[in-house]
Structure 1
Amino acid sequence: MLLEREPELAVLEKAVLEVQAGEGAVLLVGGPAGAGSTALLRELAAASTRLGARVLRAGGAQIEQGFPLGVVRQLVLPLLSAEDPAPVPPVARALLDPLTGGRAPVVGEDQALAETAGVLHGLHTLFVGLAAQRPVVVLVDDLHWVDEPSLRALAFLAGRLAGTRVLIAAVLQDGAGGSDPLIEEIVAGARCHLRVAPLSADATARLVAREFGPDHAPRFATACHEVTSGSPKELRTLLDRALSHRVTGKAADCERIRELGTAFRRERVQFLLRRAPGVAAFAKALVVLGGDAELELVLRLGEVDAAGRAAALSALGDRWLTVSGDRVAVRDPSLNRVVEELLDARESSALHRKAAGLLDEGGYPPEAVAAQLLQVDVIHAGWEVERLRAAAQAARRRAAPSPAGRYLRRALLDLPPDSGERARLLVELAAAELDVDPGSGVRHLAQAAPLLPTVRERATVATWIPLPVAGEGPLVAELVREVAGRLGPAEELSGHEREVALRLEARVWFSGLGEPARLAAAARRLAELRDHPHGPTAGERELRVVLLMAATLGSSTTADVVAAQARRLLAHDPTNTYGALASLQTLPAVLMAADAVDAGWSWLDAAYDNACRHSNPTPQALVGAQRGLLLLGCGRLVEARAEAVRAFDLVDRSWPDAVLLPSVVLGLVAFALRDRPLAARVLDSAPPGDLRLFEIRRSLRGALAAQRGDLPMALAQFLDSGRRLDRAGWYNPAMHSWRTWAAVLSHRMGRQDDAVRLAEDNYERALHWGAPTTLGRALRIRASVHPDRDRALELLREADEVLRTSVDRFEQAKALIKLGEVLRDVDRDESERVLARGRRLAEQCGAHWLGAEADGLFAAQPGSAVSPVIRSELTRGEATVAGLAARGLTNTDIADELGTSRRAVEKHLTSAYRKLRIDGRADLAAALGADPENG
């Protein structure tokens, strides 16, 4: 008994009974392949025989479609050649005699048509004559594979069954024969349409239970249903295969049954494609086009005619394909893998090349055409290269540089190495790569330049080299200098060539940022540039930015001149172009050095808005790093830390030149905060090779060594940094404050002459530069190392006065705290007022630890083991020392913990005893209200 087929069987039996009553008809049985349509046909044959009807069987086959009247012969020949012949009407026998092969075949078109007409009438006469004795049931399987003359005969009969006792039952799979007019005629004349549905999950479980017993896992039956989609034929085969592989039907076998099902489906479709060339051509075309394409395009690519279309849709059906309107898609990915195995390299390349042509002819987007050309073996110059270029341009317009680079690299692969077309493609490839991989972009620009025919073209290409990499490597530096020299100075040029010359000059200056003579000349060159009433051009802006950086590094001008120039530049510098990257890399540092950070906020905010529209997060990271730098310049340490960390985490690590800036800013923040974890990230992760980062690394290592109490190592780190910076001509103390820390360390180590010399040198340089923050810091350091208290007090008061005009609240806090400490032995009331102001500023900056020492270099690390209990009458430094003493640490241990001197610890403890009104260390724990063991 067939499962879940009771309604269908009832319909079949009813049809036979109606035919017995003289109601001839056509019955169509439909459904997906493997759903059991043929099994129903067998049941119909059995039911017809039980009810006394004569059953005639035939079936179509793809390989027999070229055999005329093959299906008709299957129906008729058993009757005509039987030893005990049925009562075949003599007229029918005479008309059907050509089918028996008893006469020589006729020749001539008219004779053939006459003979075919005779066969049709003979067939009708035969069935009517037989039906006069008892009902006749004609069963035809796979109607879509029936040869055309037989289809014509069946269509002829289907229209003449009224009043006869003839039932024609045919199986037509879903989606098959839809474009054949004869099949459409038969379908239109059918009185009964019966569609076989797939088995339900419950029916599948019942069949599984027959094979694996009632104890099988429900999940296993569910997996079987999912794999076969309810197809009885596939389920039967799958269960047989499972038994042969010793699958037991348990839950643990679910994955195994899925693997068997996948393998079985692949075998079926492999067999189908090898057996049916037309279906294989259709499948290959569909897979080459991407598995989702216009049906008409698939047919054209595979050169599939209407019959092949019907065959392919019928054979692959719902199992493998999804047809929606005029589009067809691959439903099961296994089809892709099978087709790819059938396609050899030569055929695959030919199909992809043909597909590219059809897509281009049909007006498809360039990237759809290029996707096909990427799969061919060799790209030919001309149309194919142009299509890949067009696709790259389209990809760049949609802000997708990676696909653009892929198209151009494929176009370059087969071009001659010295062709002009290769040079243009290299330039376009570099333009796409500069957004995501500047190193590769610059390398391709350097390769393209010598191939370009004119100096102007080579010079234009050289201006595409980003400023940060203009001096990296002799190949790039030499290219820039060579084309700049050939083009000539900007003052002698005009229009486009003048702009190119200015931008080349900017790159030459940038590559010389490590040459003292060049830095010394930057201010003079900056003064030579004329101001235009409508603002500087793009090339002038780029050159001015680099010259400002050079003049600032070398301190060849003053802070007020740099600040004024920077403000004018920012007023005209756009924030939404690639050229703005040069300003992002340099101007914020210049503004910070010149105490002009207020000028940068609105410009950076606009730059950030534009960066957020970019698909690559790196522009956001660059802007964020510079925002962190300006926040640091204002003394807003907590906010600076957040911005710096975010930028460092966000930047694309595959872009080393972009990683540099966030690393530098994170290092500066770590140094200002004495943040060991941040320092470790910079030391471990930041890229080497840049002088700025070299200084940051040395400063961080020096600070860490000082916190460990290794003052000689700390001093060596700062002095080593200073020697390298001086050799490069980087003299500005606003940019590099190594002398500040070297002076303090020398003083702590008792090297008074060295300390004073370094502090005075630092002060003279700060005085020349003129920025309040730098000058105030220099005055504080002079006071810190000066042996005379009165003179130190004068210097600190001057520092306080100078820093009142600075936006750097952190530097103000350090100066006030140092001033308050020196005032303690002169005017205690004023000392407390000054210290209170300093501590408030330190709290606002996020420097809660500031106060243990005025310079902060040896202060307790935030988040370290030092957690003092604060009493309002104690300074932060006194509270820190008192808390450690209350926990039982000796003066030497405390000095080692804080990286300070034993004498400083004794001074802090003596002051704490006096303020807390206690006699000594034994009373500290009670006075602080702390547990001596836990602090």
Structure 2
Amino acid sequence: MTSPVPAWVVHRPVLVPAAQSACLGREVELRTMRTMLAKAAAGRSAIVTMTGELGVGKSVLLEATAELARTMGFAVAVGHGARLETHLDGGVIRQLADDLDGEGVDLRPDRVSSLEAFYRLVRQAADQRPVLIIIDDIHVTDIWSMRSMAYIRRRITDQPVLILLGSTTGHPPAREVSLQELTGCSAETVVLGGLDIHGVTELLRANISAPVHADLAAACLEVTCGNAYLLQSMFGALRLHFGDEIGAVTPAEVRELASADIGEQLRVRLRPLPGCAELVRAVAVLGDEATVDMVAAMSGVDYAQALRGIDALVRLRILCNSHTVSFQHPFVRNSVLGDLPVATRAADHARAARLLADAGSSDVEVAGHLLEARGIRIPWGLEVLRRAARDAAHHRRLELARDLLERALDEPLTPDQRLAVQLELVHAEFLGDSVKGMARLREALAHADDVRSAVGQAVTMLLRSCTAHEARLALSIGLQVQSRLSSQEKDEFWELRAMCYLAAAGNDLGLALRASLFTDDLESEQPDDPRLRQLHAVIMSLGHALRGDSALEAVKWADQALAGERTDVFVQPFVFTLSTCFLVDAPELSDKFRRMIGSTEEPHDFHLRKGTVVSLAHGMDFLASGELIRAKTFLKWQMRLFEELDAVRDCPMAILCAARLTEVLVDLGRADEARDLLARSGFAGELPELFQHNLVLYSRGKLKLALDDPSGALADLLECGRRLEASAVDSPAVIPWRALAVRAYLAQGQREPAAALAKEDHEMARQWGTPRSLGTALLSVGLSADDEDAATRALLKATEFLSESTAKLTLAEAFFELGAQLRRRGQPDRAIPHLRRAVELSAKCESQPLIRLAGDELRACEPVTAEGTVHGLTKQETRVAGMAAQGLTNRQIAEALFLTRRTVELHLSGAYRKLGITGRTDLAEALSQHRGQE
């Protein structure tokens, strides 16, 4: 079986003179040829092979070499191999003989005398002047001609003869005779690559009249790799599509060019290679998703045969020699696709989409093929197109998003599905041009026959809205649908109004304030439908939380809302944020809440994955309870996911995660890491006035306090408070900003405003009524009070309230402040138990800053004498023994005193020996006896 020669090797259109064309980017090769010719003229015969991929310009360079040889006085004989003439034995030799004036020479094949006659012909020509013998396409030369060339090669070594053989890289030889068998091991090789940027530019200038800019030349080089024939075909495509405007063509337009002629010629010429035409077509259709397995399945070629075919195509430089299956030249891929009839190509893309979907490829990859499969009904692809459009819209590829949704509208849809897709199309339009988006919205709603369906779609859009821009669009949809509802559709009207309220309340200040105006209406109008009564319970619970008027009422309504079936409203960012804030003081409801929001369904928010919201809830619960390491584990994992999705600046859940993770890192003593997180997330400067950014202001204020920047902290915290008050959301259940602001005032020596703010916080906490809020507020009161007795009472009361909550870290802080207050008042004995409790709790929470502070205060409480301690122990032994007597573990003691556990054990052993005891159980009594003796 003979091998095909791709069409661009068979047909050689020359757009400029051959010698000139050969010189474009071929100066080095021409110099090599001149050197070889000069050596041959001096009597040093040689055989040279010139190889290159299909269409690289090998034949033109051979012609230029022949012209050069003639000018140097050579006798030139040129023969051309041809696939259709491989059965004509001696055909190429006869071409050479004609050029060497061998008329009448007997060159009949299969005769030894013919071999000798051809040799004598060459020898006689060489006796008169140097001889250049050129055979182009030696790989498709007939077998007798190749045998004749092999015969003379060994017999002309002392003659001024240069044999130049042109061969296509990777092309299998005719009748399985290899090129090396013909040339031997002594042949020199010239390998032709594609033209460089200079050569491409010069070729462009020679073939188009318009000015050639660098970007155009670079794009032509990119898609053809400098292949001369492909470049010439591309110039034709440029003239066909752009006429006199070639100079203005963009690189993107160049990358889309194709030549159906190239595709047709390649298809025809690959037919003799089993399965190769089908493989090329499959690779072209699959594009970036092409793998060996997928190409074999797509082409219908047996896997083993597909491997052989891909091997052949790689060697021919049609496909890349890489782990992926792709074209060496993008222009060839375009041309293969351009050769396919429209309907056939659409069917191929539909098949590719099915194969990729079955293989678990991404929606974006599958949708790319569905988009090309127009005119073919693919019902299963509807949701794929919609999800891919959401992805495209998120990445601001709005034109693609619109195309995908327009394609989805081609499918047979129910009225509900059609409206859903149309609203998503409105969304994509709105992101690019709000005026056009609103016009399309009015059109879509005008053709919506089922108002109840429109309500459902509007609710979905409200749940799906993420950024502030999207929320405004969703609210516009909701309000327009509301206006179409009649008095008979009161449940639908109430539901839509409730969802609009939730979307607005979690948005910018203006919308949040507007939402607060009809909170009372929503709470007073209880719907009849059980599902809507559950939503009503959510509104009631949030209303109490926002006002901060009654934790009991908020929790009661939350309990009713969580008693029903799962509802998507609980994962709405505003609801989620507030719920996780106040439910942490009701652990049993917090567990119900996590079960409610846990789901195997795809989240509405594009940036969320299954389990993301539950993980955030766990992280926030652990933060609230002071389990910092566990909180960091949950939040940092989700933060990494949000960063991979590039969602941190926009998605409310991502912003919440960044804020809470910042708090965790600060409490752990990793302030630098927290600062880097905020800077990396774009939260170091001015922040939009959206509800979720209040959480960032709070966490940033906390970070600045840890970094000894109280003025910066106070500015952030007061701004947080201003925004919350402006949106009618100011409750200790939401963001306890006042407690941190009190510390910022105190750090700047401003006790009076600190005390006023602490008093205000305490009054609000009393109204809300949870132990956490009361304890936190009393801690602020104790820190800012002028009267030492009042401060001590407030701090003691704070520890009592906080002991009833899950807030272990805040409780540890309260014990620390109480102990520090007592020590400063000269009551170290009273201070020590509180400080030891602070060390114990902060060690459990693994809050290194608080461990350090409490440890310092504890050490400051231990009395010492010039000879040592009052117990006869060393100072360090007294500290270690005293903490052990209070029940602290060796690990906790080591963390508080910045010692190793081994050092703690050695100090305890010394104390046991000096006190005459055997272990920890006798330690407290022994220390007490020694104090009494002293």
Instruction: Indicate the TM-score class for this superposition, using the shorter chain for normalisation.
Output: 0.5 to 0.7
- Give the counterpart letter for 2:837 in structure 1: R
Q: Distance in 2 between matches of 1:789 and 1:416?
A: 72
Q: Distance in 1 between matches of 2:865 and 2:269?
A: 90
Q: Which residue of 2 aligns with 1:479?
A: 477
Q: Distance in 2 between matches of 1:729 and 1:287?
A: 76
Unaligned runs of 5+ in 2: 1-50, 54-78, 118-135, 143-167, 200-222, 236-258, 285-303, 320-326, 358-362, 869-873, 880-897, 900-934
Q: Distance in 2 between matches of 1:287 and 1:833?
A: 92
Q: Which residue of 2 aligns with 1:635?
A: 626
Matched, 1:365 2:354: yes
Q: Distance in 2 between matches of 1:648 and 1:370?
A: 24
Shift of 1:344: 8.8
- Give the counterpart letter for 1:666 in structure 2: L
Alpha-carbon contact 1:622-1:662 (below 8 Å) kept: no
Alpha-carbon contact 1:633-1:808 (below 8 Å) kept: yes
Shift of 1:454: 2.3
Q: Which residue of 2 aligns with 1:777?
A: 776
1:560 to 548, 552, 562: 552
Q: Distance in 1 between matches of 2:787 and 2:721?
A: 27
Q: Distance in 2 between matches of 1:74 and 1:602?
A: 93
Alpha-carbon contact 1:519-1:729 (below 8 Å) kept: yes
Evaluate the alpha carbon distance shift between residue 195 and residue 135 of structure 1 in structure 2; reply closer, same or farther with a 3 A threshold.
closer
Evaluate the alpha carbon distance shift between residue 286 and residue 334 of structure 1 in structure 2; reply closer, same or farther with a 3 A threshold.
farther
1:449 to 436, 441, 457: 441
1:79-98 map, 5 Å: none
Q: Which residue of 2 aligns with 1:816?
A: 815
Partner deviation per Cα, 1:802-840 (whole Å, 9 max, x = no partner) = 222211111221222333344555975553223222221
Partner deviation per Cα, 1:269-302 (whole Å, 9 max, x = no partner) = 999999xx9995456559999x998846979999
2:658 to 659, 663, 670: 663
Shift of 1:732: 0.6
Matched, 1:843 2:823: no
Q: Distance in 2 between matches of 1:668 and 1:675?
A: 10
Evaluate the alpha carbon distance shift between residue 446 and residue 836 of structure 1 in structure 2; reply closer, same or farther with a 3 A threshold.
farther
- Give the counterpart letter for 2:849 in structure 1: W
Partner deviation per Cα, 1:563-609 (whole Å, 9 max, x = no partner) = 3443454455649xx76642696157535465125544576489678
Alpha-carbon contact 1:667-1:679 (below 8 Å) kept: yes
Secondary structure of 1:365's partner?
A: helix
Alpha-carbon contact 1:608-1:624 (below 8 Å) kept: no
Partner deviation per Cα, 1:383-437 (whole Å, 9 max, x = no partner) = 82666987564466899955999999559559999x9999988954976999x99
Alpha-carbon contact 1:739-1:759 (below 8 Å) kept: yes
Q: Distance in 2 between matches of 1:85 and 1:750?
A: 116
Q: Distance in 1 between matches of 2:517 and 2:633?
A: 36
Partner deviation per Cα, 1:347-379 (whole Å, 9 max, x = no partner) = 965636354245379897397999999799xx9
Alpha-carbon contact 1:559-1:771 (below 8 Å) kept: yes
Shift of 1:661: 1.9
Shift of 1:676: 2.5
- Give the counterpart letter for 1:559 in structure 2: A
Shift of 1:774: 0.8
Evaluate the alpha carbon distance shift between residue 356 and residue 408 of structure 1 in structure 2; reply closer, same or farther with a 3 A threshold.
farther
Shift of 1:769: 1.1
Secondary structure of 2:863's partner?
A: helix
- Give the counterpart letter for 2:448 in structure 1: T
Q: Which residue of 1 aligns with 2:764?
A: 765
Shift of 1:766: 0.8
Partner deviation per Cα, 1:169-193 (whole Å, 9 max, x = no partner) = xxxx999999xxxxxxxx9xxxxx9
1:353 to 330, 342, 347: 342
Q: Distance in 2 between matches of 1:415 and 1:786?
A: 63
1:525 to 522, 526, 540: 522
TM-score, reference length from structure 2: 0.53
1:888-927 map, 5 Å: 915-917=863-865
- Give the counterpart letter for 1:846 in structure 2: E
Alpha-carbon contact 2:778-2:797 (below 8 Å) kept: yes
Secondary structure of 1:384's partner?
A: coil
Matched, 1:462 2:453: no
Matched, 1:647 2:643: no
Q: Which residue of 2 aligns with 1:331?
A: 314
Alpha-carbon contact 1:588-1:630 (below 8 Å) kept: no
Q: Distance in 2 between matches of 1:928 and 1:437?
A: 72
1:247-646 map, 5 Å: 266=227, 280-282=262-264, 284-285=266-267, 295=277, 330-331=313-314, 334-335=317-318, 341=331, 349=338, 351=340, 353-357=342-346, 359=348, 365=354, 384=374, 391=381, 393-394=383-384, 409=399, 412=402, 428=421, 448-452=440-444, 453-454=447-448, 456=451, 459-463=455-459, 464-465=461-462, 466-469=464-467, 475-487=473-485, 492-493=490-491, 503-504=499-500, 506-508=502-504, 510-511=506-507, 515=512, 518-519=515-516, 522=519, 525-526=522-523, 528-529=525-526, 537=531, 545=538, 548-556=541-549, 558-570=550-562, 572=564, 574=566, 581-582=571-572, 586=576, 589-592=579-582, 595-601=585-591, 604=594, 610=600, 622-646=613-637
Q: Distance in 1 between matches of 2:759 and 2:822?
A: 23
- Give the counterpart letter for 2:799 in structure 1: D
Evaluate the alpha carbon distance shift between residue 663 and residue 292 of structure 1 in structure 2; reply closer, same or farther with a 3 A threshold.
farther
Q: Distance in 2 between matches of 1:649 and 1:693?
A: 19
1:206-245 map, 5 Å: 207=187, 235=189
Shift of 1:876: 2.6
Evaluate the alpha carbon distance shift between residue 598 and residue 143 of structure 1 in structure 2; reply closer, same or farther with a 3 A threshold.
same
- Give the counterpart letter for 1:837 in structure 2: R
Q: Distance in 2 between matches of 1:370 and 1:692?
A: 32
Alpha-carbon contact 2:398-2:431 (below 8 Å) kept: no
Alpha-carbon contact 1:821-1:835 (below 8 Å) kept: yes
Alpha-carbon contact 1:526-1:548 (below 8 Å) kept: no
- Give the counterpart letter for 1:772 in structure 2: P
Alpha-carbon contact 1:663-1:682 (below 8 Å) kept: yes
TM-score, reference length from structure 1: 0.53
Q: Distance in 2 between matches of 1:406 and 1:353?
A: 29
Partner deviation per Cα, 1:520-554 (whole Å, 9 max, x = no partner) = 7647734644697xxx53x7666755664454233
Shift of 1:800: 2.6
Q: Distance in 1 between matches of 2:81 and 2:486?
A: 84
Q: Which residue of 2 aligns with 1:315?
A: none
Q: Distance in 2 between matches of 1:142 and 1:198?
A: 14
Shift of 1:773: 0.7
Alpha-carbon contact 1:756-1:786 (below 8 Å) kept: yes
Evaluate the alpha carbon distance shift between residue 68 and residue 609 of structure 1 in structure 2; reply closer, same or farther with a 3 A threshold.
same
2:857 to 829, 854, 877: 877
Q: Distance in 2 between matches of 1:492 and 1:551?
A: 25
Partner deviation per Cα, 1:430-482 (whole Å, 9 max, x = no partner) = 76999x99978999986752221127365444332425446767555433323
Evaluate the alpha carbon distance shift between residue 787 and residue 469 of structure 1 in structure 2; reply closer, same or farther with a 3 A threshold.
same
Alpha-carbon contact 1:541-1:569 (below 8 Å) kept: yes
Q: Percent identity?
A: 18
Evaluate the alpha carbon distance shift between residue 837 and residue 630 of structure 1 in structure 2; reply closer, same or farther with a 3 A threshold.
same
Secondary structure of 1:798's partner?
A: helix
Q: Distance in 2 between matches of 1:293 and 1:328?
A: 12
Q: Distance in 2 between matches of 1:788 and 1:281?
A: 92
| Most deviating of 598-607 and 630-639 | 598-607
Evaluate the alpha carbon distance shift between residue 427 and residue 681 of structure 1 in structure 2; reply closer, same or farther with a 3 A threshold.
farther
1:66-105 map, 5 Å: none
